Amino acid sequence: MNKKQKVSEIKKRFLQHYPNPKTELKYQNIYELLVAVILSAQCTDKRVNIVTPALFAKYPMPSILANAHIDELKEFIKSVSFFNNKAQNLIKMAKQVMEKFDGKIPTTQEDLKTLAGVGQKTANVVLIEYFEANYMAVDTHVFRTSHRLGLSRSKTPLQTEQDLIKIFKTDLSILHQAFVLFGRYICKAIKPDCQSCFVQEFCVSKNNFKPT
């Protein structure tokens, strides 16, 4: 089986096993999704879902979050990793949304990336989840699993993202979500569940690949 056939077979199996994968973050609208994704950086979705109900009840829209007192906001998210920086970014992001986008969360990658706390990965995740846009986002799960399957040898998430876009081309939003779930529950960093793996014959290494 050549590289092109291997990629095609891996893609087919992921689409079969995860026909409609969605984020495990809980949200009601694009504002809540963006806040949750910002909070989820280097933190589990499970932890984010614990803090967001009270957070969204207190700050249900950008206009209210923009006027939040930072110490009060920190109390809501203090169990989330890097909560000090994230609190600052959330307030700044909300102010930018009010000042530059008439209080509405922007819906393009370029505009989203102008917001505090929003890099390309965060922007892509929002667009993938909310609009099923044909983007790829590379988090720790996607990075690890794509390297274990020999789909990329790049050392950074952005380079890996480009590799995956080049080889897969279509269904990127589904594949992103599928790789996240696959990495979270099967191809885990420590003790991967190889017996449950549906692409085991394509695995080139069980190393816990991490971006540099």
Active site residue 139: yes
Q: How long, in residues, is the chain?
A: 212
78: which 2 tokens? Answer: 């203090």
Q: What's 163's DSSP letter? A: H
33: which 2 tokens? Answer: 């999704």
Coil, helix or strand for 105?
A: coil
User: What is the rounded distance in angstroms from the CA atom of residue 210 to the CA atom of residue 212?
Assistant: 6
Active site residue 193: no
Contact present, 97 and 114 (Cβ < 8 Å): no
Q: Which residue has the tokens 């480009």?
A: 162
Catalytic member of 139, 155, 171, 206: 139
Catalytic member of 26, 121, 169, 210: 121
| Active site residue ranges | 121, 139
